[in-house]
């Protein structure tokens, strides 16, 4: 059976995936989600001219000659705290004490910072400020609309909302926003050999590590992970579980039961209930993979070996689920690095995704070394890796060779 190039497998999946519908959410719940409309500034930010420093609001002209030797003296006529408003216009020869963020009084056109001044109070209780430096017009003044002008587009549709976007939305008075839904993704594990949690292992049994790992990968990608447990080897129970899951979730992930030799109930049921495409992809690890729909819900059949299921998620499920979220940037960050040791392999018609540790180097390209055992069952090699080095078919790489790396996490 000839192997399918990875790009074709990815294409088969992506063409069948659409973005989810729009939902209106409180802005605090939108991190990682994608805007459906342009966001416009409803008001000026900042809304009024204010000071960026604690100091004294002055008329620049009044202190233009001020120096250490010949300081200028002004009468302090008022104190303006952030959140209060000046009671009157500033006149010639006057200063107002002003706190960062407080409005600039009419008549003032500059702020001199407190560190360049000294104050004194006369016996009659009149306060004066001595300015030891000039303050040019506009000094420390943040004009209204200096950040954003009312009516301007702040960000367009298709923007992935990060913490700073959410801060901006709040500063503009948005409480809610229309975004593409966050996908609810259910995860099953399959296989009679699997033991969940700390229960003692019987002969031939191993612990279920794929489900917790996949749930965490979903969480990391900003999706809603839904733990659907382990499917027992009972056809009726599996059928009911798959149907319920297909209704509850926007997408489903299973692990195990997609390899050539395997023919378990999950596989035969998906064959019957779903429209599945069983693939053998020209990659290592994660050669077997299935994708289709069950009752209209996309389902990703990931391979069972723990490293394979994670790599399969990275290369095939994650981009598709991000597309569901309305994202256009569905790829992880990639870099070009130099092999810091030989990355040995044999020709086998497949692209290898080698678990590597990428280290920064001060004097050039980052370096990569193997992160440990490269077997598809050796999860420790993946746990110690921060990248997947893409090693093309052939005899591998020598020290100093350039290698493309998909950065993880």
Which residue, among 217, 375, 212, has the nearest Cα to 307 in the 3D structure?
A: 375
> Minimum CB separation from ligand AMP for residue 379, in Å?
8
Number of residues that bind ligand AMP (CB under 6 A): 19
Q: Which among ligand AMP, Mg ion, none contacts residue 127 (Cβ within 5 to 8 A by kind)?
A: none
Nearer to ligand AMP, 145 or 285 (CB): 285
What are the C-alpha distances in Å from 385 to residues 61, 226, 366, 367? 63, 26, 14, 13
List, in order, residues 6 or more apart from 107 with CB less than 8 Å away: 59, 89, 90, 91
Closer residue to ligand AMP in complex, CB, 145/288: 288
Q: Does 257 bind Mg ion (CB under 5 A)?
A: yes
305 is a contact residue toward ligand AMP (CB under 6 A): yes
Interface residue with ligand AMP among 183, 274, 285, 304 (CB under 6 A) is: 304
Which position among 306, 319, 326, 387 is part of the footprint of ligand AMP (CB under 6 A)? 306
Residues sharing a CB contact under 8 Å with residue 238, sequence separation 6 or more, in sequence order: 231, 232, 265, 266, 269
Least separation in angstroms between residue 47's CB and ligand AMP is 55
Shortest reach from residue 316's CB to ligand AMP, in Å:
15
**Interface stretch with ligand AMP, choices 113-121, 136-144, 149-157, 302-310 (CB under 6 A):** 302-310
Among positions 121-180, residues that touch ligand AMP (CB under 6 A) are none
| Position 319 contacts ligand AMP (CB under 6 A) | no
Q: Name which of residues 170 to 189 contact ligand AMP (CB under 6 A).
A: 189
Half-sphere exposure of 26 (CA within 13 A, CB side): 2
Query: What is the dihedral angle through the alpha carbons of 318, 310, 250, 30, rounded to the nearest 10 degrees?
Result: -60
Segment lying near ligand AMP (by CB under 6 A), choices 127-135, 157-165, 174-182, 254-262 = 254-262
381 lines the binding site for ligand AMP (CB under 6 A): no
Single out the residue of 72, 111, 179, 194 in contact with ligand AMP (rule: CB under 6 A): 194
Residue with tokens 């949690």: 197
Contact 355, 374 (CB under 8 A): yes
Stretches 74-82, 153-161, 256-264, 276-284: which one binds ligand AMP (CB under 6 A)?
256-264
- Tokens of residue 120, six digits: 């004194």
Report the alpha-carbon distance of residue 15 to residue 81 in Å, rounded.
Answer: 58
Q: Widest CA span of the chain, in angstroms?
A: 100
Question: Which DSSP category does 27 fall into?
Answer: G
The span of 5-13, 228-236, 269-277, 298-306 binding Mg ion (CB under 5 A) equals 298-306
Question: Which residue carries 């080698």 as its tokens?
Answer: 354
Instruction: Examine residue 326 and tell whether it contacts Mg ion (CB under 5 A).
Output: no
How big is the CA angle at 306 (ends 182 and 263), to the nearest 5 degrees? 95
Is 209:380 a contact under the CB 8 Å cutoff?
no
Establish if 105 lies at the interface with Mg ion (CB under 5 A).
no
In the complex, the smallest distance separating the C-beta of residue 354 from Mg ion, rounded to whole angstroms, is 25
Binds Mg ion (CB under 5 A): choice among 86, 183, 186, 191: 191
- Chain CA centroid to CA 333, Å: 11
Tell whether residue 256 is a contact of ligand AMP (CB under 6 A).
yes
Q: How many residues does the chain have?
A: 409
Binding stretches for Mg ion (CB under 5 A): 191, 256-257, 304
């Amino acid at each position: 059976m000839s192997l399918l190039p990875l790009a074709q497998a990815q294409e088969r999946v992506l063409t069948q995936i659409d973005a989810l519908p729009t939902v209106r959410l409180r802005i605090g719940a939108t991190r990682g989600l994608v805007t459906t409309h342009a966001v416009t500034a409803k008001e000026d930010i900042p809304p009024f001219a204010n000071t960026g420093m604690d100091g004294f609001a002055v008329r620049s002209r009044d202190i233009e000659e001020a120096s250490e030797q010949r300081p200028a003296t002004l009468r302090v006529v008022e104190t303006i705290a952030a959140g209060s408003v000046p009671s009157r216009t500033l006149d010639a020869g006057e200063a107002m004490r002003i706190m960062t963020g407080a409005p600039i009084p009419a008549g003032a056109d500059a702020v001199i910072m407190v560190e360049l001044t000294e104050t004194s109070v006369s016996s009659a209780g009149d306060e004066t400020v001595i300015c030891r430096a000039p303050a040019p017009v506009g000094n420390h003044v943040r004009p209204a609309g200096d950040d954003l002008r009312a009516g301007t587009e702040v960000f367009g549709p298709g923007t992935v909302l990060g913490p700073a976007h959410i801060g901006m939305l709040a500063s503009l008075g948005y409480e809610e926003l229309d975004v593409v839904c966050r996908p609810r993704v259910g995860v099953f594990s399959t296989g009679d050999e699997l033991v969940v949690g700390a229960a003692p292992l019987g002969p031939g049994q191993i612990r279920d590590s794929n489900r917790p790992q996949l749930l965490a990968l979903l969480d990391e990608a900003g999706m809603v992970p839904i733990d659907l447990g382990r499917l027992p080897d009972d056809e009726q129970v599996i059928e009911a579980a798959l149907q319920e899951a297909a209704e509850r979730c926007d997408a489903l992930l299973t692990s195990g039961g997609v390899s050539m030799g395997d023919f378990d109930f999950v596989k035969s049921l998906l064959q019957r209930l779903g429209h599945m495409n069983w693939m053998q992809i020209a990659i290592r690890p994660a050669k077997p993979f299935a994708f289709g729909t069950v009752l209209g819900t996309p389902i990703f059949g990931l391979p069972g070996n723990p490293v394979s299921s994670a790599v399969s998620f990275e290369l095939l499920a994650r981009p598709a689920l991000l597309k569901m979220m309305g994202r256009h940037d569905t790829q992880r960050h990639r870099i070009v690095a130099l092999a810091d040791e030989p990355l040995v392999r044999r020709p086998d018609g497949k692209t290898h995704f080698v678990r590597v540790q990428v280290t920064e180097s001060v004097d050039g390209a980052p370096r990569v070394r193997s992160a440990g055992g490269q077997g598809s069952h050796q999860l420790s090699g993946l746990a110690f890796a921060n990248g997947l080095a893409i090693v093309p078919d052939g005899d591998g790489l020598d020290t100093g060779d350039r290698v493309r790396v998909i950065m993880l996490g």
